[in-house]
Amino acid sequence: MKCEEITQERWLAYLDGRAGSVERRRVEEHAAGCAACRARAEEFRKLWGALDEVPAIEPSLGFDASVRQRVAAEPRRRWFGWLAPWPRVALSAAVVAALAIIVIVKMPSRHARPMGTNAVVHQEDFNAIKDLGVLENYDVVTNLDALSELPSAAENQPQQPQ
Amino acid sequence: MLDVKAGDETSFDLLLLKYRSPLVNFLHRMVRDTATAEDLAQEVFLRVYRARKQYTPSAKFTTWLFRIATNVALNSVRDNRHERRAISLDAPTTDDEDAAPMELPGRERSIDEQMIERDRSEFIRQAIASLPEKQRAAVLLHKYEEMDYAEIARVLDCSESALKSLLFRAYETLRVQLAPLVAQPVPHSAGEGKLS
């Protein structure tokens, strides 16, 4: 392996130890015969160790309580909260629903009559019922010939005993 | 996280317990101020809580968490850039009161040794802090969070090859800046090892 063949990716894998054993051995074999790469490899190794010297810190004692306090202060979601992420959708849906209600309320029924006609119809029906008896005897009333066949009143009058 | 999504508040406490320390440390190394780091970490947890209903387990939770944390940190660093002092690697003391190690020093170590150790760790910390923000985030996630390349690439929203290049440049910079600590001794090098 030549110096140029130790790419950035190979150096990185060598540095963090994620290179496979074969890959690592190839870098080390090259470094054994190349002073510059050997020095570089050693510096990377030391750098990796030096970065561990930065001490970690611990969160303060009140950290958890502060987080919980901020979470508790968050507004709770309501039943329609699922619409919250899409306010435009929610607004559109509300407008469509309102329009639908207006249309349903205002639209005349197919069987509905105009206002005011109900009273007239009721009167016509009443008249028809009122004259029902006459209508049933319509033939009799209009055919006066039939009346002539009836016995006269005089004939119908009973004989007075002498 | 799925339990948190389902409304289980106890699971949120578990998330808090598990990730508070890595988050605070990551943010502390990004912004170099303990109070700011804690405030930002609280902000991250709050964002996680707010976004719990939209969470989909398409990626690892840590990827999602550190993506939020990285964005929060980068925004903070950029917002406060004008306030930040230029970092000099020759500066002998820290500008962070929390730079001291948390653990008590061992009795067997002398004050000189403790001072040397503190100076070393501060020197390294300043070298990390002097990296460009994205390189710094990449190194922190790679070195301290031990994330794999694919995961870091997702956090930083870049390709894996771009990430490797970014990481290599960052480590090269650190190798040069930390030469007094890591450089191989070279004979006849009167001026070498001194930082420019």
Contact yes or no for B128 and A54 at CB 8 A: yes
Dump pLDDT digits (tens) for B3-54. 666 666 777 888 899 999 999 999 999 998 999 999 999 999 999 988 887 7
Q: Any CB–CB contact under 8 A between B42 and chain A? A: yes
Distance CA B171, CA B173 (A): 5
Q: Any CB–CB contact under 8 A between B176 and chain A? A: no
Most confident of A37-51, A131-145, B79-93: A37-51
Distance CA B104, CA B107 (A): 9
| Distance from the A98 Cα atom to the nearest Cα atom in chain B, whole angstroms | 29
Contact yes or no for A63 and B143 at CB 8 A: no
Q: Any CB–CB contact under 8 A between B117 and chain A? A: yes
Asked whether the predicted pLDDT for residue A51 surpasses 90, the reply is yes
The CA-based angle A77-A79-A83, given to 5 degrees, is 80
- Chain B, 132 to 151: residues with Cβ < 8 Å from chain A are 139, 142-143
Which chain B residues have a beta carbon less than 8 Å from that of A44? 171, 175
φ/ψ of residue B101, rounded to 5:
-60, 145
**B2-16, B42-56, B61-75, B113-127: range with lowest mean pLDDT:** B2-16
Most confident of A94-103, B24-33, B110-119, B182-191: B24-33
| A35 or B106: which leads in pLDDT | A35
Question: Is B60:B166 a contact under the CB 8 Å cutoff?
Answer: no
Which chain B residues have a beta carbon less than 8 Å from that of A86? none
For an interface test with B, which of A45, A54, A83 has the most B Cβ atoms less than 10 Å from its Cβ? A54
Asked whether the predicted pLDDT for residue B93 surpasses 50, the reply is no
| Distance from the B80 Cα atom to the nearest Cα atom in chain A, whole angstroms | 22
| Distance from the A51 Cα atom to the nearest Cα atom in chain B, whole angstroms | 7
Distance CA B16, CA A138 (A): 99
Residues of A with CB under 8 A from a CB of B: 8-9, 11-12, 15-16, 39-40, 42-44, 46-48, 50-51, 53-60, 63-64, 66-68, 70-71, 74, 85
At B190, the pLDDT band (50, 70, 90 cuts) reads: very low
| Distance from the A67 Cα atom to the nearest Cα atom in chain B, whole angstroms | 5
Nearest to B25 among A46, A57, A60 (CB): A57
Q: Locate the chain A residue with the closest alpha carbon to B54.
A: A85
| Domains within chain B, CATH numbers bracketed | 1-82 (1.10.1740.10), 110-181 (1.10.10.10)
Question: Is B71:B176 a contact under the CB 8 Å cutoff?
Answer: no
At B2, the pLDDT band (50, 70, 90 cuts) reads: low
Whole-number pLDDT of residue B52? 81
At B145, the pLDDT band (50, 70, 90 cuts) reads: very high
Asked whether the predicted pLDDT for residue A39 surpasses 80, the reply is yes
In 3D space, the residue among B25, B43, B45 whose CA is nearest the CA of residue B145 turns out to be B25
What pTM did the predictor assign?
A: 0.64
Q: Any CB–CB contact under 8 A between B20 and chain A? A: yes
Question: Is B13:A38 a contact under the CB 8 Å cutoff?
Answer: no
Contact yes or no for B174 and A47 at CB 8 A: yes
What's the count of helices (H) and strands (E) in chain B, helices before strands? 9, 0
